[in-house]
Amino acid sequence: MAVKLIAVDMDGTFLNPHGEYNKARFREQYQQLVQRNIKFVVASGNQYYQLKSFFDDIDEQIAYVAEGGGYVVDKKKEIYCGKLEPEQVAQVLGWISRTPGINTIVCGRNGAYVLEGTDEAFISRMRRYYHRLAKVQDYAQISDTIFKFALSYVEDDVYPLMGEITTQIGGIVAPVTSGHGSVDLIITGNHKASGLRKIQQIYDIRDEEVLAFGDSGNDLEMLSYAGYGFAMENASAPAKSAAKYIAPSNREDGVLNVIDDVLNGRAPFA
C-alpha cells in the first residue's frame, strides 16, 4: 500500500536529543514528498506556535496536529479547535489545586497560561515547548478557548496520578504521558489519531496509507491505527507495543532514514 501521509511526533522522534533535526536532508526529502503528493504532518503535544517555528520555510504547505490533537491546522488554516466549557475547566483546575506536587499550564487557542508565583525553573523549561506563555494572577483572567492542561509532577512515576485523574475527572479529560513526569490532560476522545483523521478527510487518505512515528504514551493511538506505525528505537515500551515497526533511534535520524526507505521503495514500502 502506498504512503500518502507521513505524521511525525517531535521530541524524542523527529528531533534529536539536542532538539534539532537535519534540516538540509529533510528539505531534499520534502521536495520529493511534494512531487509524490505525500502529505507531511507534524503531530505533537506541543503548542502550535512552537511547532511551526521548526518549519518556517514550508509552514504554508504542511499540517499540524498540535496540543495532542486539541488544535489542528493545515496550510495555516485552522481545521479544528477543541473546547472545554468554563464549568469543565473549573472542575479540572479544582481537582488539580487539591493535588500537591503539580505545576500546571492551561493551554488554549491563543496561547498558554501559568499562575504567577509558579516555580520559575518550571516556567523557563516550559517556554521551550510553549512560545506563547503568559503569567496570570488568577485563572479567571484567561479569556481563551481552553482545550488542554499540561502538568509536571514531582514524581517520575506518573501512572498512579494518571489513574486518579481517570477516576476523578476522566469524563472530562484523558491523561497521556510524554515521559519525565509530564502528563497532558486532553479532551476525552481527542488525541493525535483523531487529529490526523481530520487531515485525512480533507485529502481522502485511508488509515492504511498513513505512516506515523512516535516514542511515548501520547502517540499510542496514532501508532496503533496507522497502516505503518513506527516506534522509535528509543521509545517507551507501550509505544513499541502499539507500533507495527521499529525505526532507528532519534540519535540516528531514524525518521529520515525511514522516509528514505519510502522514497526508494524499500521494505516494508516495496
DSSP 8-class letter at 15: S
- pTM for the model: 0.95
| Confidence band, pLDDT 50/70/90 cuts, at residue 159 | confident
Whole-number Å distance between alpha carbons of 86 and 23? 41
Q: What is the overall mean pLDDT for the chain?
A: 95
Which pLDDT does position 270 carry in this prediction?
A: 87
Supply φ then ψ for residue 76, to 5 degrees. 70, 10
Which pLDDT does position 154 carry in this prediction?
A: 74
The pLDDT tens digits for 238-261 are: 999 999 999 999 999 999 999 999
The pLDDT tens digits for 48-94 are: 999 999 999 999 999 999 999 999 999 999 999 999 999 999 999 99
Which pLDDT does position 157 carry in this prediction?
A: 75
Which pLDDT does position 181 carry in this prediction?
A: 72
- The answer to whether residue 1 scores a pLDDT higher than 80 is no
**Secondary structure of residue 259 in the 3-state scheme:** helix
Q: What amino acid is encoded at 243 in this protein?
A: A
Which pLDDT does position 52 carry in this prediction?
A: 97
The pLDDT tens digits for 82-113 are: 999 999 999 999 999 998 889 999 999 999 99
The pLDDT tens digits for 191-219 are: 999 999 999 999 999 999 999 999 999 99
Whole-number Å distance between alpha carbons of 155 and 2? 43
Catalytic option among 9, 74, 215, 253 = 9
- The answer to whether residue 180 scores a pLDDT higher than 80 is no
Which pLDDT does position 158 carry in this prediction?
A: 82
The pLDDT tens digits for 105-156 are: 999 999 999 999 999 999 999 999 999 999 999 999 999 999 999 998 876 6
Whole-number Å distance between alpha carbons of 99 and 108? 22
What are the residues whose beta carbons fall under 8 Å from the beta carbon of 229, sequence distance 6 or more? 212, 214, 222, 223, 242, 243, 244, 245
Strand partners, 194: none
Supply φ then ψ for residue 148, to 5 degrees. -160, 155
The pLDDT tens digits for 160-179 are: 889 999 999 999 999 998 76
Which pLDDT does position 178 carry in this prediction?
A: 73
**HEC profile for 118-183?**
CCHHHHHHHCCCCCCEEEECCHHHCCCCEEEEEEEECCCCCHHHHHHHHHHHCCCEEEEEEECCEE
Domains of the chain in sequence order: 5-81+190-264 (3.40.50.1000), 86-187 (3.30.1240.10)
Decide if 119 is catalytic: no
Q: How many CB atoms lie within 10 A of CB 204?
A: 8
